[in-house]
Amino acid sequence: MPKPVIDRLMSKVIKQPDGCHEWTGARRGTMGYSTLGNEPGKLPKMLYGHVVAYEHHKGTIPSGMVVRHACDNPICVNPEHLTIGSHSDNHGDMMERGRGGDYKPHKVTEDIVRTIRASSESLSVLSARHGLSVAQVSKIRNRKAWKHI
């Protein structure tokens, strides 16, 4: 029988003097967030460590919210360092901490979603027109993103 996800997570954590519980396993993305596989047959297949830790210790993450790192350490899974907020809150954290650079989030609207779904144009044409990546346009068109519309 496979080990529970929280046990696998904690088996690769080193507690630091500053209070961070740092993940030593696999990392994903440019920020290096901790990732681990879910139990066989469960979706999603890959999980973020800070999300696993938050849900195990504090409960379900409300829809539309994200887990934020108060410590600004993306590999930290200490539930005392994790808090809930909106994507906008998380973006504000990034900008406040000087990690924003020239990043300007694109605001996808319901009208843009409807336009993409109604169009027969190619993904690359829609991508250029709306200032989105081809991958994001594909997710919108195939209802993997903005499912509620």
The predicted pLDDT at position 74 comes to: 87
pLDDT at 40: 77
Q: What is the CATH number of domain 5-96?
A: 3.90.75.20
Whole-angstrom distance, CA of residue 12 vs CA of residue 35? 11
35-44, 64-73, 100-109: least confidently modelled range:
100-109
Average pLDDT over residues 37-54: 88
Predicted local confidence at residue 115, as pLDDT: 92
Per-position DSSP letters for the chain, written without gaps between them: -PPPHHHHHHTTEEE-TTS-EEE-S-EETTTTEEEEEPSTT-SSSEEEHHHHHHHHHH-PPPTT-EEEETT--TTB--GGGEEEE-HHHHHHHHHHTT--TT-------HHHHHHHHH--S-HHHHHHHHT--HHHHHHHHTTSSSTT-
pLDDT at 106: 58
Report how far residue 37's alpha carbon sits from residue 134's, in angstroms, rounded to the nearest whole number: 27
| Residue 130 pLDDT class (50, 70, 90 cuts) | confident
Residues 86-110 pLDDT 10s:
988 888 887 777 766 555 555 788 8
Q: Is the pLDDT of residue 33 over 90?
A: no
Percent above pLDDT 90 for the chain: 43
Name the residue ranges covered by the structural domains of the chain. 5-96, 110-141
Angle between helices 134-141 and 123-130 (to 10 degrees): 110
pTM for the model stands at 0.65
